[in-house]
């Protein structure tokens, strides 16, 4: 599953980088479908980061990889 998710994260990165942020794939739990990412730069601590994470990143990953159940940010 990680092989499917990694290129999708790379598709998303330029959009976040354009706003001074970034995203890094930390881990994929294949049993639960939970994807852990680390938000960096301007995204780290941004009030809109949770919205970006859920409505942007999570939605995109769920559309492309149905096994994904949730995307969470870790430090």
What pLDDT digit, counting tens, does each position of 26-45 carry? 999 999 999 999 999 988 87
pLDDT for residue 7? 97
Q: Which residues of the chain have pLDDT under 70?
A: none
Hey, how many other C-beta atoms are within 10 angstroms of the C-beta on 37? 23
If one counts every other C-beta atom within 10 angstroms of the C-beta of residue 41, the result is 14
Tokens of 31: 């049993």
Q: Which CATH number fits domain 2-27+37-73: 3.20.20.70, 3.30.300.130, 3.30.70.960, 3.20.20.210?
A: 3.30.300.130
- Between strands 70-73 and 34-41, the pairing is parallel
pTM of the entire structure?
Answer: 0.92
């Amino acid at each position: 599953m990680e092989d499917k998710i990694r290129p999708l994260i790379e598709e998303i990165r330029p959009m976040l980088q354009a706003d001074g942020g970034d995203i890094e794939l930390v881990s994929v739990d294949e049993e639960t479908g939970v994807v852990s990412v680390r938000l960096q730069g301007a995204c780290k601590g941004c009030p809109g980061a949770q919205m970006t994470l859920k409505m942007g990143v999570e939605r995109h990953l769920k559309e492309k990889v149905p096994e994904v159940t949730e995307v969470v940010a870790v430090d």
